[in-house]
Amino acid sequence: MLGANVWRKVLGVDRATVIESVEVDRESETVVAHVRPRRATKRRCGRCGRRAPGYDRGEGRRNWRTLDLGTLMCYLQADSARVNCPEHGPTVAQVPWARHGAGHTYAFDDTVAWLVTHTAKSTLVELMRIAWRTVGAIVDRVVADGRAAHDPFDGLRRIGIDEISYKKGHRYLLVVVDHDSGRLVWAAVGATKVNLRAFFDLVGDERAKLIKLVSADAAEWIADVVAERAENATLCIDGFHTVAWATAALDDVRREVWNEARRSGMTGYAKELKGARYALWKNPENLTEHQERRLNWIAAVNQKLYRAYLLKEQLREIINRKGRRALAMLDEWLTWAARCRIPAFVELGRKIRRNRAGIEAALRHDLSNALVESTNTKLRVLHRMAFGFKKPEHLIALALLDRGGYCPPLPGRSAPALAALG
C-alpha cells in the first residue's frame, strides 16, 4: 500500500487535500480516490474563498475527473457541501483540487490547456477522452483564473489595437496587444466603439493616462475613442496596414494589366502574368529562383506593372527602416507616387498623405509591426481550431491562452508564473 504522500503526488494534489482511500471500481474500470479538504481549508466560499458557515450537504458525493492512472480513468470523489457566503449566498464550498464549478481537477484542466496550445485538436480529444466542447469550457476557466491572478491591464505603455476578420471578412474581433510584453491583452467580438470603450473601462482612467503610444489601422472610430480615453497617447498607424494598402494597390494594377492582355487575345501572356502573382506579393529576399525570373520577365515586358512593384517595395522598405531617414524617404516616395501615372498608386499616395501624421508617428516611434501581424496570423489559425466551439467567446479564451501567456505548465513541473510565448 502506498503512503498518503505518494498518493498525493500520483494524483497531483497538494497537502490541502486529504486522501482517505483509493480503490478500483471494477464495474466502470476506473480508479476512485476518496478525498476531502484538510480542515484548515474547509468551509470557504467557492467563489470568493472567504470563510463562511456551513449551509447544507449540497448534491452529496460527487466526482472530479483527474489525470488517468496508467490506462485507467481516474476520479477524485468527495462530498460537495455548500456554505452560506455573506456575499454570494449558498454556494458550493471551495475544494483544493479543482476550480469552482469544474468537473475536472486542476491537474486535468492544466494538462488540457497545455495540450490545446501544443498539439492538434483530434489528438487532444482522443488522448484525454473528452469532448471538444469540454475543452472550450476548460480553456475559459484556466484563462479566467490566470487573469484573476495577474491583472492584464497593469503597466500598459505601448499598445496596438486591431480589427481582425476571423471569418472570411464578415466577423470581426477587436484585439489589443501589448507591444512591450508581446502579449495579447484583450479581445472582444465585434470591432465597435462600444467594445473599445469597454476595454478602456477595464483599464481605468488612471492607467489609461500612462499609455504613451497606440498603434492601430487608420480607422477613424479607433482614433476617436483613443483621443477620448487615452489623453496622453500618440496614435500611430501600424506599418503592417500601410504595407497591406500598397500590396492591394499592386494587385489592382496586376489585375488590370492581366485583363488588358486577355481582352487583346494575348492568352499566353495573361497566363504568365497570373502566375507572377506570388512573385509580386513576396518580399524580394524570400523569392525563389523561379519567382525571381518571373519578376525579371515583368521588368522586361511590362514597365507599368514593374513600376507598381517598385513603388510597393520602396514603401515597404521605408516602413521597415523607420527613423529620420525613413521620414525623408517617405517624402520622396509621395512625390514619386503623385507622378507615377498609375491610378491605384496615385490614389494610395493620397491616402498616405491623408494619414501622414499617424504613419510618421509609427516611423518615429519604432513600434514593431511583427507583433500585430503574427497575432493576426495566429488568430486565424486558432479560429480554425475553435471551430466546433459554440460561442466566439471560446475563441477569445483560446487566443488569450495562447497569445496572452496564460498557458499553464504541465502538472508536476515548474515554470514561470506567466509562460513565455513560443
What is the nearest approach in angstroms of Zn ion to the Cβ of residue 88? 4
Stretch that binds Zn ion, among 11-19, 84-92, 316-324, 398-406 (CB under 5 A): 84-92
Residue 84 touches Zn ion, criterion: CB under 5 A:
no
Over the window 35 to 54, marking each residue x when it contacts Zn ion by CB under 5 A and - when it does not, the resulting string is ----------x-xx------
Query: How wide is the angle at C-alpha 209 spanned by C-alphas 204 and 210, nearest 5°?
Result: 105
What is the nearest approach in angstroms of Zn ion to the Cβ of residue 49? 7
**What does the alpha-carbon distance between residue 100 and residue 144 come to, in Å, rounded to a whole number?**
11
- C-alpha cell of residue 52: 463562511
Closer to Zn ion by Cβ: residue 45 or 367: 45
- 150's torsion region: left (phi>0), alpha (psi -120 to 50) or beta? beta
- C-alpha cell of residue 74: 481516474
Alpha carbon distances (Å) from 164 to 18, 117, 169, 257, 370: 48, 20, 9, 30, 15
What is the nearest approach in angstroms of Zn ion to the Cβ of residue 89? 8
Q: What are the DSSP calls for 302-321, one per residue?
A: -HHHHHHHHHHHHHHHHHHH
CB-closest chain residue to Zn ion: 45
| Contacts (CB under 5 A) with Zn ion, residues 183-242 | none
> How many chain residues bind Zn ion (CB under 5 A)?
6
- Please report, in angstroms and rounded to a whole number, the separation of the first and last CA atoms in the chain: 42
What is the nearest approach in angstroms of Zn ion to the Cβ of residue 82? 11
**What does the alpha-carbon distance between residue 310 and residue 336 come to, in Å, rounded to a whole number?**
11
Closer to Zn ion by Cβ: residue 47 or 212: 47
Closer to Zn ion by Cβ: residue 88 or 209: 88
What is the nearest approach in angstroms of Zn ion to the Cβ of residue 47? 5
**What does the alpha-carbon distance between residue 365 and residue 20 come to, in Å, rounded to a whole number?**
61
**What does the alpha-carbon distance between residue 322 and residue 360 come to, in Å, rounded to a whole number?**
9
Binding Zn ion by CB under 5 A: which of 56, 87, 201, 331?
87
Stretch that binds Zn ion, among 88-96, 194-202, 257-265, 338-346 (CB under 5 A): 88-96
Closer to Zn ion by Cβ: residue 87 or 201: 87
Chain length of the chain: 422
SS3 44: strand
Closer to Zn ion by Cβ: residue 82 or 383: 82
What is the nearest approach in angstroms of Zn ion to the Cβ of residue 92? 11
Closer to Zn ion by Cβ: residue 88 or 282: 88
Over the window 275 to 294, marking each residue x when it contacts Zn ion by CB under 5 A and - when it does not, the resulting string is --------------------
Closer to Zn ion by Cβ: residue 48 or 125: 48
Closer to Zn ion by Cβ: residue 88 or 378: 88
Closer to Zn ion by Cβ: residue 29 or 87: 87
Closer to Zn ion by Cβ: residue 100 or 321: 100
- C-alpha cell of residue 163: 480589427
What is the nearest approach in angstroms of Zn ion to the Cβ of residue 46? 8
- Cα Rg for the chain, rounded, in angstroms? 28
Binding Zn ion by CB under 5 A: which of 34, 62, 88, 209?
88
What is the nearest approach in angstroms of Zn ion to the Cβ of residue 114? 29
- C-alpha cell of residue 207: 492607467
Helix (H) or strand (E) holding 134: helix 132-149
**What does the alpha-carbon distance between residue 305 and residue 325 come to, in Å, rounded to a whole number?**
27
What is the nearest approach in angstroms of Zn ion to the Cβ of residue 64? 20
Please name which of 254, 164, 178 lies closest in space to residue 212, comparing C-alpha atoms. Answer: 178
Under 8 Å between Cβ of 83 and 52: yes
The Cβ of residue 184 has, within 10 Å, a number of other Cβ atoms equal to 26
Stretch that binds Zn ion, among 22-30, 79-87, 273-281, 397-405 (CB under 5 A): 79-87
What is the nearest approach in angstroms of Zn ion to the Cβ of residue 408? 24
Task: Tell me the backbone φ, ψ of residue 293, rounded to 5 degrees.
Answer: -65, -40
Residue 85 touches Zn ion, criterion: CB under 5 A:
yes
Interface residues toward Zn ion, by CB under 5 A: 45, 47-48, 85, 87-88
